[in-house]
Amino acid sequence: MEKSIYEFKMKDIDGKDVDFSKYKGKKLLLVNVASKCGYTPQYADLQELNEKYGDKVTILAFPANNFGGQEPGSHEDIKAFCSANYGVTFQLFEKISVKGVDKHPLYRWLSDKNLNGWNNTEPSWNFCKYFINEKGELVKFFPSSVKPMDAEILALINA
């Protein structure tokens, strides 16, 4: 079981390995995303956040089909959708499960206080956000309704 966010290794949307140790010293915003959700327009906000604050925070997006079957597509479908509709340039990963018995170990770490130190909240819908500080500590969970350009997220980025 990974004890630190930096111990994870996952595949990106193109199937290439990403070692999370490369994110040491960086603030991270992890988001479970979906293409057919009422919150899907948040992709535009995430892209804006990436363009304006990408030097201060790294966005990691994890497509998931856990809520209402709202991410049914293949990796190719997801990548094409994000590029064509939102011009996404931030890091997209392969589709994973973010809750339930098949929950990916990363989301197990994010939502188990015995692993991350304090938080037991797992995503309740698409576009939930987890903020990690530059020391690799989970510092805040945001529900779907909190937009990426929200003042509280910007305050964490600029702290």
Q: Does residue 71 carry a pLDDT above 80?
A: yes
Can you give the residue ranges of every domain in the chain? Answer: 5-158
Q: Does residue 22 have a pLDDT over 90?
A: yes
How confident is residue 121, by pLDDT bands cut at 50, 70 and 90? very high
What's the pLDDT at 25?
A: 97
pTM over 0.85: yes
Tally of CB atoms within 10 A around 150: 15
Of the residues 13, 33, 34, 37, only one is catalytic, namely 37
Tokens representing 124 are: 């309740």
Residue 119 CA: distances (Å) to CA of 3, 11, 75, 110, 116: 14, 25, 29, 7, 7
Chain mean pLDDT for the chain:
97
Top-level class of domain 5-158: alpha beta
pLDDT of residue 148: 98
User: Active-site residue 82, yes or no?
Assistant: no
Task: Say how many C-beta atoms besides its own lie within 10 A of residue 117's C-beta.
Answer: 10
pLDDT at 69: 97
Q: Return the DSSP state at 96.
A: B
CB-CB contact of 97 with 32 (8 Å): no
